[in-house]
Structure 1
Amino acid sequence: MDRRTFISGLAIAGGTVASACGDMSGSSTSPAAPNINRGVKRLRMVTTWPANFPGLGTAANNVAEYITAASGGALEVRVYAAGEIVSAFEVFDAVADGTADLYHGAEYYWQGKSPAFNFFTAVPLGMTAAEIMGWCEFGGGQQLWDELAGQFNIKPFQAGNSGHQMGGWFKREINTLDDFRGLRMRIPGLGGNVLRELGGAAVTLSGGEIFPALQNGTIDATEWVGPWNDLAFGFYQEAQYYYGPGFHEPGSCLSVGMNRGVWDGLDADHQAIVQAACRAANNVSLAEFTYQNGIALDVLRNEHDVQLRQFTPEMWDRIGEISEQVVADTGRADPFTARVYESYLTAREKMMNWGRISEAAYMAQRERVLGGQ
Structure 2
Amino acid sequence: MFKLSNVKRWLVAGVASLALAATAHAQDKVYKLKLAETWPSNFPVFGDAPRNMAAMAEKMSGGRLQITIDSRNKHKAPLGVFDMVRAGQYDMGHSASYYWKGKVPATLFFTTMPFGMTAPEQYSWFYYGGGMDLMQEVYGKYNLMSFPGGNTGVQMGGWFQKEIKSVEDLKGLKMRIPGFAGEVIAELGAKPTNIPPGELYTALERRTIDALEWVGPSLDLRMGFHKIAPYYYTGWHEPATELQFLINKRSWDKLPEDLQEILRVSMRAAAYEMYIHSYHESSENLAVIKTQYPNVEIKTFPSEVIESMRKVNNDLLEKYSANDELAKKILDSQATYLEKVRKWTEISDKAYLNSIAQ
Place the TM-score, normalised by the shorter chain, in its bin. Answer: over 0.9
For residues 323 and 52 of structure 1, the distance between their equivalents in structure 2, rounded to whole angstroms, comes to: 35
Q: Which amino acid aligns with 2:270?
A: A
CA contact (8 A) 1:46 1:86 kept: no
1:19, CA displacement in angstroms?
A: 4.2
Following superposition of structure 1 onto structure 2, how do residues 29-44 of structure 1 map, counting pairs within 5 Å?
30-31=17-18, 32-34=20-22, 35-44=25-34
Q: Which amino acid aligns with 1:278?
A: M
Q: Which amino acid aligns with 1:359?
A: D
Q: Please, which of 259, 263, 275 is the counterpart of residue 286 of structure 1?
A: 275
1:326, CA displacement in angstroms?
A: 2.1
For residues 243 and 188 of structure 2, the distance between their equivalents in structure 1, rounded to whole angstroms, comes to: 27
SS of the equivalent of 1:358 reads helix
For residues 276 and 201 of structure 1, the distance between their equivalents in structure 2, rounded to whole angstroms, comes to: 40
Q: Please, which of 109, 112, 115 is the counterpart of residue 122 of structure 1?
A: 112
Please, what TM-score do these two structures have when normalized by structure 2? 0.93
CA contact (8 A) 2:172 2:189 kept: yes
Please, what TM-score do these two structures have when normalized by structure 1? 0.89
Following superposition of structure 1 onto structure 2, how do residues 1-373 of structure 1 map, counting pairs within 5 Å?
18-19=10-11, 30-31=17-18, 32-34=20-22, 35-244=25-234, 246-305=235-294, 306-366=296-356, 368-369=357-358
1:105, CA displacement in angstroms?
A: 0.7
| 1:252-283 C-alpha deviation (Å, 9 max, x unpaired) | 11110111011111111101111101110111
Percentage identity across paired residues of the two chains:
36
Aligned Cα RMSD in Å? 1.7
1:159, CA displacement in angstroms?
A: 1.8
Question: Structure 2 vs 1, CA of residues 60 and 334 (structure 1 numbering), >3 Å: closer, same or farther?
Answer: same
CA contact (8 A) 1:91 1:103 kept: yes
| 1:43-81 C-alpha deviation (Å, 9 max, x unpaired) | 111011112211111112111211122111111111111
SS of the equivalent of 2:240 reads coil
For residues 145 and 230 of structure 1, the distance between their equivalents in structure 2, rounded to whole angstroms, comes to: 29
1:29, CA displacement in angstroms?
A: 6.2
For residues 148 and 11 of structure 2, the distance between their equivalents in structure 1, rounded to whole angstroms, comes to: 12
Unaligned runs of at least 5 residues, structure 1? 1-14, 21-25
SS of the equivalent of 1:242 reads strand
Q: Which amino acid aligns with 2:112?
A: A
Unaligned runs of at least 5 residues, structure 2? 1-6
